Amino acid sequence: MSSDGDSPVTLHDVAREAGVSLATASRSLNGSARTVNEAYKERVLAAAALLNYTPNLSAQATAKGSTTTVVLLVSDIADPYFSSIAAGVMRAADDAGLVVTIAATGRDSGRELTLVRAMRGQRPRVMILAGSRATDDPLHDRLTAELQAFEKTGGRVSLISGNDLPFATVLLDNRAGATRLAESLVGLGYRRFAALSGPRSIGAVIDRLTGFLDGLARHGVILPDERIVETDFTRDGGYLGMQSLIAAGLGETELVFAVNDVMAVGAMSALRDAGLVPGVDVAIAGYDDIQTARDIIPALTSVRIPLEEVGRRALELALGTGESEGGSIPVPAEVIVRASTPHV
Amino acid sequence: MSSDGDSPVTLHDVAREAGVSLATASRSLNGSARTVNEAYKERVLAAAALLNYTPNLSAQATAKGSTTTVVLLVSDIADPYFSSIAAGVMRAADDAGLVVTIAATGRDSGRELTLVRAMRGQRPRVMILAGSRATDDPLHDRLTAELQAFEKTGGRVSLISGNDLPFATVLLDNRAGATRLAESLVGLGYRRFAALSGPRSIGAVIDRLTGFLDGLARHGVILPDERIVETDFTRDGGYLGMQSLIAAGLGETELVFAVNDVMAVGAMSALRDAGLVPGVDVAIAGYDDIQTARDIIPALTSVRIPLEEVGRRALELALGTGESEGGSIPVPAEVIVRASTPHV
DNA sequence: CTGTTAGCGCTTTCAA
DNA sequence: TTGAAAGCGCTAACAG
């Protein structure tokens, strides 16, 4: 452990090795406005390579007053919805020479607020919040204030969800998507529905649910409130929700709409565990079109959101790259009918 | 945009507001060794709250010479294997008051090396590399050197995979796990196998493959080389690999072992698309036991790795927390037999 | 084009 | 205990 105490190579070391001033070394290694004599520059580069120098990003940040960091807040990175978005953000960040810090809120708005504050300490260039929240959340105003303060000091914020907060957002039109899904299902002949809802405090849940009800209503179909089970917005939530639906008696129910795919997947498992066959005894539809929707049997009818693209756009929107008009950019939702909702 | 130019509140502002010196403000806000008069401390805290102060982490880092950052390198964050590991790392980091920066290598060792270098600039406390690599990779030595240089300057490295590099590692015993899987399958009555392999340059692939062959060999079962298809280590790789297996003629093949679950999932889809029923016409087994393995039909026989725990341990190992002896900690692999490999 | 010299925001000696 | 002052590694005026 005696070799443990070395300190990293500094720019100063490089300058000394190259026999130039600190300033020249700095200018040679970064794309400074000032140009540097080729011979010097090469010597600096050689010295840097020799010493295996890596610029201290923190020091650069304090000196420049700006970082190269993007903060991404997700509910849960293990959820395929968020990990796909994260992949898109990371790819775009990479293209822009930025580095991504990710933290998980666990869908807790208190934690989300805490994280936003903590992450502000990084003075990131951009802060992206994925996952919608409740407009009536008691912390709503404080979160807004925090984010506004961040913007006031030069940071950029972008959201992925409904436009529940006054910031640039990649707008997922959950409501319209769900409406179209409902209409497609009615078109397939379905009339008797039930729904597996997540917590109503989540904006996306409300939008998908009301959108779905709207779509049914347009065709005179009613989904009574007691056929809507509110449960966790997760795979296990879907499983448990379906169990309670089964326990209460599926009755005439022809199709169960789960407000997201992971819930739908859980619901299918619950059906099977109860001896029922999804797509045969009861049809299932979800939302998001995660990869698994295509791989399970029966393949899941869903509404496609181009998740990775959404992530990329969220960063571009914040950066002002891409064709963003500055406000919010809508992302189309596409209904994909698969075997889980056969024609009746 | 005129309100855009404000600069963040600094410690200096807080000190002035509280009417104390910079030093006192600093000491009040952080757990400094020196103690501070209660009255002063309160005034500082109040001022900080009033001004909504957040310490500049970069500045803190340059001053202290150490950060609060953990870097995690994964192949692909959208892959459930890695996103689950990431979830574990993030949780553990949160507990330790650390922040996680994630980057994706895309399984490209050149990119991995570049990223390690770039990330070194952050002077992270810990660098975690998930996903194994080839021992014979031409960049192997340079990666090792880079990582060693990082450790020499006080950073900690931990790996998740086989122990292909001389650093602390959370050791996934892929070989033993695959051997046990093979033996279980032979125990179920299977004799004629084929395999879907990822690129042999990936350590985990080799280990799983050779382990599997070993397990078969112990029972006198041979898996001829021409029944091993090398393809991408992804869902689509599995799909294509299975297609070529089908094209070449499945013949007597009773069971196809895919070296990871996402490949197995792709393989199942390929089977179905070819009019065959997985688990009936051909049995399938995978490795990793991702969530989807439990949700697909037939449920996938696999080898369980406690991914989230693995992520948590990787950080603890690097931090010296937990019961790590310092070297590497083995994580048990558990064979889970499910419907995709019925008794024959 | 180069080097000197102030900073950046924060921590941490060092005297008082 | 407190404050003044000297850094941390780097950048960006500012003279030369």
The 10s digit of each residue's pLDDT in B236-247 is: 999 999 999 999
Edge-to-edge strand ranges of the sheet holding B126-130: A329-331, A168-172, A156-161, A126-130, A69-74, A99-104, B99-104, B69-74, B126-130, B156-161, B168-172, B329-331
Task: Confirm whether any atom of chain D, the nucleic acid strand, is less than 7 Å from CB of A37.
Answer: no
Q: pLDDT tens per residue, chain A (344 residues)?
A: 334 568 899 999 999 999 999 999 999 998 666 688 899 999 999 999 999 999 999 999 999 999 999 999 999 999 999 999 999 999 999 999 999 999 999 999 999 999 999 999 999 999 999 988 777 788 999 999 999 999 999 999 999 987 788 999 999 999 999 999 999 999 999 999 999 999 998 889 999 999 999 999 999 999 999 999 999 999 999 999 999 999 999 999 999 999 999 999 999 999 999 999 999 999 999 999 999 999 999 999 999 999 999 999 999 999 998 766 568 899 999 999 999 999 98
Vertex B169: Cα angle to B90 and A49 (nearest 5):
90
Residues of chain B positioned with their CB less than 8 A from the CB of A52: 146, 149
User: With contacts defined as CB-CB under 8 Å, which chain B residues touch A58?
Assistant: 57-59, 61-62, 67, 122-123
Q: How far apart are CA B41 and CA B274, in angstroms?
A: 72
| Protein-covered nucleotides on strand D (Cβ within 7 A) | 1-5, 7-13
For an interface test with A, the pick among B54, B64, B115, B305 (most A C-beta atoms closer than 10 Å) comes out as: B54
First CA to last CA distance, chain A? 72
pLDDT of residue A210: 97
Q: What Å value separates CA A60 and C1' D11?
A: 7
Residue for token pair 């150490």: B66
Please tell me which residue of chain B has the smallest CA distance to A62.
B59
Of residues A62, A152, A295, nearest to B3 (C-beta):
A152
Confidence of residue B327 (pLDDT cuts 50, 70, 90): confident
Rounded mean pLDDT, B269-282: 96
Nearest protein residue by Cα to C1' of nucleotide C3: A21
Query: Model pTM?
Result: 0.95
In our burial notation (b when 16+ CB lie closer than 10 A, e otherwise), range B128-137 reads bbbbbbbeeb
pLDDT at B42: 94
How far apart CA B261 and CA B131 sit, in angstroms, is: 15
A109 CA, C5 C1': separation in Å? 48
Rounded CA separation B150/A11 (Å) = 16
Chain-centroid distance, C-alpha A190? 32
Residues present in chain A in total: 344
CA distance A221 to chain B (A): 31
CA of B9 to C1' of C14 (A): 28
Shortest-distance nucleotide from B64 CA to C1': C11
**Model confidence pLDDT, tens digit, residues B21-31:** 999 999 999 86
Q: Which residues of A touch B59 (CB under 8 A)?
A: 58, 62
B265 touches chain A (CB under 8 A): yes
d(CA A214, CA B249) in angstroms, rounded, equals: 51
Give, in degrees to the nearest 5, the angle at Cα A311 between A306 and A314: 120
Q: Cβ of B152 and A4 within 8 Å?
A: yes
Alpha-carbon gap, residue A210 to A34, rounded angstroms: 58
Check CB contact under 8 Å for B295 and A292. Answer: yes
A63 beta carbon to strand D: under 7 Å: yes
Q: Is residue A19 within 8 Å of residue A42, measured between CB atoms?
A: no
> What are the structure tokens assigned to B193, written together?
């196998």
**Per-residue confidence (pLDDT) for residue A17, from 0 to 100:** 94
